[in-house]
């Protein structure tokens, strides 16, 4: 009986040990990048206080081996190499370089938001599991500022130190002035600028101006106001617009038209233009732009107004309109611009058997346009192109 009891106790102990092992397996914690990033940043902070840069290098290397190259790791590697005077761009992947720079700038922007913790939880993977306003961020700013005291820094080294010391305007100015030409940094910036410039921009605007005719057109039709609108798009340096303009007002003098088999005197006119207009960008500093203008369309003028109530016909004169000129724009920061256009319009109103209305005209027009592409506008602001 004693032996039986011992055997049963042995089986129970074996079962208990097996259960304990299963529980340990189920509850065991697997290392993950969030934990590794947190612990690595704490170690780096501790070693930085002691100026133990070799240990920082060991920690960041192991961090990268476990999690891959994230923005915080990239930042750390750049500062380490500048500190040890071994900086090289050979290891930098051009496909990710601009992304790491923009991620760091996003980090600075998000750090100022009132709901910063919520934003971090939403995007923590993209930001390498380093929280906003963290001691790690403070450390890299202090480190970059200390490196800027070195007058022997290469231009590209100085650019990165300006970035990571949060002197971002100075960083972008270096790139805009091409002070780091021949580097991957300058190359990817130029690629991003070209890509941004090629984005299509939409345009919708209203216009108001004055019609300044010449020759017989001036004598009989006279100076008139212009109202209208335009809609189109800009691709690279060329903008294409569909323009519809109206020219109301009584004529300067009565004139004759051939209408319903007889010559009739009229004291009415309502003119207009519908056409495809183009603008080629000559100069642009992102706030001011000078354009070469051109267009082709139809010049239309009602000479006799029809009355639908009595089924009365109207008389309309028409002509091809070819125009050339110049335009000037002043852009705002809110995706809009005010434009001034002056064009010489070649027309020849066909008034067969009526008064000779030959004559070209000058159009002087002021426009207000909603213009742009939200993505392009955002990219231009981030790259400090404006």
Domain ranges of the chain: 33-197, 201-382
Q: Which of 195, 184, 199 is nearest to 96 (CA)?
A: 184
Q: Which of 100, 132, 129 is nearest to 113 (CA)?
A: 132
Collect all residues with Cβ–Cβ distance below 8 Å to 266 and sequence separation of at least 6: 251, 254, 255, 256, 257, 303, 304, 315
Confidence (pLDDT) at 28? 46
Confidence (pLDDT) at 220? 94
Collect all residues with Cβ–Cβ distance below 8 Å to 261 and sequence separation of at least 6: none
Q: Which of 188, 183, 123, 118 is nearest to 156 (CA)?
A: 183
Confidence (pLDDT) at 1? 58
Distance CA 271, CA 269 (A): 6
pLDDT along the chain (386 residues), means of 10: 56 54 51 88 91 91 92 96 93 92 94 92 92 94 95 94 95 93 94 89 95 95 96 93 96 92 91 96 91 97 76 82 97 89 95 92 96 83 76
131 contacts 120 by C-beta, under 8 angstroms: yes
Query: Residue 98 is inside which H or E element, if any?
Result: helix 94-110
Confidence (pLDDT) at 16? 54
Q: For domain 201-382, which CATH number applies: 2.40.160.20, 2.40.170.20, 3.40.30.10, 3.20.20.370?
A: 2.40.160.20
This prediction has a pTM of 0.71
Confidence (pLDDT) at 381? 79
């Amino acid at each position: 009986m004693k032996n039986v009891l011992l055997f049963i106790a042995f089986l129970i102990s074996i079962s208990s040990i097996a259960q304990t092992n299963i529980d340990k397996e189920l509850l065991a914690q697997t290392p993950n990048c969030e934990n590794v990033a947190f612990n690595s940043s704490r170690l780096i902070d501790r070693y930085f206080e002691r100026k133990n840069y070799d240990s920082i290098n060991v920690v960041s290397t192991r961090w990268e081996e476990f999690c891959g190259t994230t923005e915080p790791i990239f930042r750390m590697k750049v500062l380490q190499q500048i500190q040890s005077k071994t900086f090289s761009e050979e290891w930098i992947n051009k496909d990710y370089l601009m992304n790491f720079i923009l991620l760091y700038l996003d980090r600075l922007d998000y750090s100022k938001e009132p709901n910063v913790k919520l934003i971090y939880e939403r995007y923590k993977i993209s930001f390498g599991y380093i929280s906003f306003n963290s001691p790690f961020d403070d450390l890299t700013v202090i480190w970059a500022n200390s490196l800027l005291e070195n007058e022997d820094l290469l231009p590209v080294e100085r650019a990165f130190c300006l970035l990571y010391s949060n002197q971002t305007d100075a960083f972008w100015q270096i790139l805009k002035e091409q002070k780091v030409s021949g580097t991957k940094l300058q190359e990817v910036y130029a690629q991003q600028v070209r890509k941004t410039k090629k984005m299509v921009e939409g345009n919708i605007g209203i216009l108001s101006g004055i019609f300044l005719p010449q020759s017989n057109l001036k004598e009989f039709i006279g100076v008139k106001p212009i109202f209208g609108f335009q809609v189109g798009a800009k691709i690279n340096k060329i903008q294409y617009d569909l323009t519809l303009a109206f020219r109301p007002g009584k004529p300067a003098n009565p004139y004759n038209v051939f209408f319903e088999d007889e010559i009739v005197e009229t004291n009415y006119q309502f003119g207009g233009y519908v056409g495809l207009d183009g603008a080629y960008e000559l100069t642009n500093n992102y706030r001011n732009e000078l354009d070469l203008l051109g267009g082709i369309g139809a010049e239309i003028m009602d000479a006799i107004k029809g009355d639908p109530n009595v089924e009365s016909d109207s008389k309309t004169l028409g002509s091809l309109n070819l125009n050339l000129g110049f335009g000037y724009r002043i852009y705002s920061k809110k995706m809009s611009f005010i434009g001034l256009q002056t064009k010489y319009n070649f027309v020849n109103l066909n008034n067969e058997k009526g008064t000779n209305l030959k004559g070209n005209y000058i159009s002087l027009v002021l426009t207000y346009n909603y213009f742009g592409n939200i993505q392009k506008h955002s990219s231009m602001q981030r790259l400090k192109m404006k």
